[in-house]
Amino acid sequence: MKRRFLAMAPMALLVCLGCTVDASNDADACGPVDTTPGPMMRPGENCLGCHQDGFGEEAPEFSAAGTVFASLDSGSCDGVEGVSVFLTAEDGSEIELITNEVGNFYTTEPLMEEGPGPRIEFDGKTVSMGRDLPSIPACNACHSDSPVGGALGKIYLP
Ligand code: HEC
Ligand code: HEC
């Protein structure tokens, strides 16, 4: 396990040239993270580190993306399917994204700049981010095991 991680680390660094991805996230108690490009890729990692204009050559640009987990201390395989993530579009209308099998969500829809903060809903319970949408809505950039910007950690169920 450890050896495998060490062997993977330099590769991750190469792949991540020009984007901000924490290579230490490539393996946890869940085992190696699925890095195959597509909707199930890299749950918990900073999607916009690659899926943003000017970052990562081939990754299509997303306006927001992230992962919802079962709890703050979930591993990368503990993403939750079927969580609604509500964001506000440029025109003020509400957008609902639904997390997939690994807990990932993403959109290319233009969002209202520094509009209302996101809200997530699951099983009749809801929780809102008590602040405006950050100018770069890279959800997993702040919400990670090494949180920044005052976030407590991963995005997790209400
Ligand atoms: C290390 C860079 C990197 C990270 C981090 C990353 N991706 Fe990707 N992703 C890519 C690349 C590159 C492709 C495109 C591959 C291709 O089409 O050739 C891709 C493709 C995709 C696609 C398919 C898009 C399409 O239109 O074909 C989806 C969906 C996706 N990623 C979602 C995510 C989500 C959600 C996250 C975060 C949880 C994420 N990615 C994190 C690099 C990354
Ligand atoms: C610039 C950093 C930053 C970004 C980017 C960010 N958040 Fe947050 N978020 C915070 C902070 C700070 C809090 C308040 C402390 C906490 O609960 O983690 C918070 C709280 C939340 C909460 C409430 C958690 C709780 O239990 O009270 C949710 C849900 C949430 N954010 C979702 C999102 C989503 C979805 C995105 C992407 C659209 C996002 N966040 C992007 C910083 C950020």
Contact status, residue 85 vs residue 68, Cβ threshold 8 Å: yes
Cβ of residue 54 lying under 6 Å from some atom of ligand 2 = no
pLDDT at 35: 95
CA 124 / ligand 1 centre spacing (Å): 30
Cβ of residue 106 lying under 6 Å from some atom of ligand 1 = yes
pLDDT at 58: 86
CA separation for the pair 86, 95 (Å, rounded): 6
CA 41 / ligand 1 centre spacing (Å): 7
pLDDT at 2: 40
pLDDT at 157: 97
Instruction: Answer positive or negative: Cα dihedral of 86, 91, 93, 98.
Output: negative
pLDDT at 152: 97
pLDDT at 26: 53
pLDDT at 56: 66
Q: Which of 99, 133, 143 is the pocket-test mutation for ligand 2 (most atoms within 8 Å of CB)?
A: 143
Distance of CA 127 to the CA centre of its chain: 17
Contact status, residue 43 vs residue 81, Cβ threshold 8 Å: no
pLDDT at 27: 60
- Work out which ligand 2 atom sits closest to the CA atom of 148: 2
pLDDT at 19: 43
Question: Which stretches of the chain drop beneath a pLDDT of 50?
Answer: 1-25
Cβ of residue 127 lying under 6 Å from some atom of ligand 2 = yes
- What's the pLDDT tens digit per position in 94-135? 999 999 999 999 999 999 998 999 999 999 999 999 999 999
The two structure tokens encoding residue 88: 């506000």
